[in-house]
Structure 1
Amino acid sequence: MGLKLLTSNSKRQLSMSVSQPVSAVNLSAQSPNAAEGNIKADKKSGKETELPPVYSPNSTYVVGNMIIDKKTGRAIEAPPGYNPNSLVVGNVIINKETKEIIAPKPGPLDLQHDVSKIIPKGYTRATFNGLDVHVFVTNTKKHKVSVSLGNKEHVAEEFTSMVDSDTLVMINGSLFGGKPHEKYYSETYGPFAINGHIYEPPGDYKINYDYPVFAYKNDENNNEIAYVGFLDEYTFKNEIAPSAKFVIGGTHTLLVNGQKQVEGHDKAVNPKGVAPRTMLGIREDGSLILVVVDGKNLNGEVFITTEGNKVSGRSGISLYEGAEIMKNLGCIHAINLDGGGSSRMYYNGRVVSKPTDPGRPIGSTVIVKIKETEE
């Protein structure tokens, strides 16, 4: 079954984008007098008091947790995965020739680099420009993913009240509208369906097809696939929703067929503005990636990440940075969901993100649960 992507430029040709190589760092250019990492020095004399076994002040120096030979610039002692053909960029180890990431150094993964080959299944707390990023990668054999409108019809609900006893991971979903005390309240603006059942907004609300969708289903070989793009009413109700596990609307597409493509409802969300973000993507192996990027408190206080970094002047990321993050996580399709004060992630019994508006009710969610029988 094909999908007609009704973008603002319906004739646009989609093509695979090529990842840009990561800039390499010349380790031999580091200061030979550096004393950092696991070296301790006497405050008065400046002499080292505790040194790694292979450290020698005449022939080596330290960069992070690596011991480097002064003459060759090669690491003598390094984290697993490092070899003479490797370089360190940020907090990852890079192959000199291919520029591929071999292994992470200790600490949060930096999502400004391609981490698609080292990001593990399950939950990972990463970082992007000093902001905490919460990532969950599903295992198609172990996890099942769906969407929910909560327990009450046409009412936004407190986020954790939407957690079931078997919920492993949950993020907020679509944009929603109205006020909880009004007679009619739309829990989602864009197209929304669960196992073929289409959500029809109440009262005067109508499904808004200006919002793109993320449609998740199995193909003829029972592989998990997704479509990301814009739909008209006929395509949504007759071609996509009937066979989909779920369809959820977002504000903008981020990646389509591996290509960065930020298109959507600019009046609802400014793609260049920065805010906390919630994003959903899929990789070629069928695994889904759920992402929440933290931001700054609404009252203007400086936000401090879990690593203790102070972030001032930034309250999150732009959608173009969101596309970069999802690309670096290995997604081929990705969409931006509701963000700002709505962005939050629940994992393993608690909210692990830091919502800027923790009391805000939520209209819909994306949920990950453990399959009863592992495939």
Structure 2
Amino acid sequence: MNKKRKVTLKYLAPFMVILLLICQMTYVYAATTISNGYTKKTILDKTCYIYQTDSSKESVDLSVYPTGSKQTLNNMILSNKNLTLTAKTNSNFMEYGQDAVAFYGFAYANGKLYYNGKLIPNNDPTKITLDSRLVSLVYKNNGSVLIDRLKYNGTDTVKSAITNAKFIVSGSRALLINGVDKFSTYGNDDGWPNESHDRTMLGIKNDNKTFLLVVAKSITGKEGVKIMKELGAYNAILLDGGGASQMYINGTGTVVGSSGTYYGTALIAYKN
């Protein structure tokens, strides 16, 4: 390589870096745009049922019905019965049947902690035996989000998680944490997240817009990450799926899934 060519490359390098950054920014801004409210959209060849909240007018909370009191999704409500509910999806893993285990993992709503379908007295996590496979998304009252495998042996992350928490929901895997793909770090330690199934997911954007998502055409967790990125999610979690996946829209009814399924937990969007 002659001297003249070396000098040329030296001065071109900064411009090449800038061009690469512009391309990356362009990719981010090319993400699929969705309107607030309910949308049915094909993303990456998958049929997606999406409800995105208007963060200035709507919020999301968790509805909890312990084992023995499960409800169909259309009948599930929040503790404040005067709220106008706009959309609902299934959330925690559960067993099928009205009298079966209502849900697995942590659930926290209205200041009460639940685990594996039961209310935890005094919110004391030492009264339970943890299943370390499940991941929880903690949504704080200030809008901040934590996704982690909660535990109390060694480091007590349960007590810190429920402090100033609005709700906690549990799923099989984190998809995105602070914009970074977390799903790929788990490997193949559990088959279900890596298999193709209908999926229910929760995504939260940087501007606190929250979207409930059901993908009716079977996808893997890895494909779920791609869809969440395409929708602009910053934090996202993989919830129950398969035959449990369902979305209910106020004024429309069930748009995907079986309306006869009984649940112990549901994510519900409502008007402030």
- Report the TM-score range of the alignment, normalised by the length of the smaller protein: 0.7 to 0.9
Alpha-carbon contact 1:192-1:249 (below 8 Å) kept: yes
CA distance in 1, matches of 2:259, 2:71: 12
Matched, 1:344 2:246: yes
Alignment of 1:242-253 (within 5 A): 242-253=163-174
* Cα distance per residue 1:303-344 (max 9 Å; x no partner): xxxxxxxxxxxxx11111111111111111100110011111
Matched, 1:237 2:158: yes
Alpha-carbon contact 2:64-2:109 (below 8 Å) kept: no
Q: Show the counterpart of 2:222.
A: 320
Alpha-carbon contact 2:64-2:107 (below 8 Å) kept: no
CA distance in 2, matches of 1:268, 1:157: 29
Alignment of 1:1-375 (within 5 A): 98=26, 114-115=31-32, 118-150=33-65, 154-163=68-77, 166-177=84-95, 180-181=98-99, 185-200=100-115, 201-202=117-118, 206-219=129-142, 224-233=143-152, 235-262=156-183, 270-295=192-217, 316-355=218-257, 357-371=258-272
Letter in 2 for 1:190: G
Letter in 1 for 2:107: F
Number of equivalent positions: 238
Deviation at 1:236, TM superposition (A): 4.0
Deviation at 1:161, TM superposition (A): 2.0
Deviation at 1:171, TM superposition (A): 0.5
Letter in 2 for 1:227: L
Closer, same or farther: CA 359–180 of 1 in aligned 2, 3 Å: closer
Alpha-carbon contact 2:200-2:214 (below 8 Å) kept: yes
* Cα distance per residue 1:79-133 (max 9 Å; x no partner): xxxxxxxxxxxxxxxxxx94565xxxxxxxxxxx622xx3222222111354321
CA distance in 2, matches of 1:364, 1:255: 22
Alpha-carbon contact 1:210-1:265 (below 8 Å) kept: no
Alpha-carbon contact 1:275-1:339 (below 8 Å) kept: yes
Identity of aligned residues (%): 26
Structure with greater helix share of residues = 2
Alpha-carbon contact 1:294-1:354 (below 8 Å) kept: yes
Alpha-carbon contact 2:150-2:158 (below 8 Å) kept: no
Closer, same or farther: CA 324–354 of 1 in aligned 2, 3 Å: same
Letter in 2 for 1:242: T
Select between 197-206 and 124-133 the one with higher mean Cα deviation.
197-206
* Cα distance per residue 1:155-175 (max 9 Å; x no partner): 332221225772111000100
Letter in 1 for 2:199: R
CA distance in 1, matches of 2:21, 2:168: 29
Normalising to structure 2: TM-score of the pair? 0.76
Normalising to structure 1: TM-score of the pair? 0.56
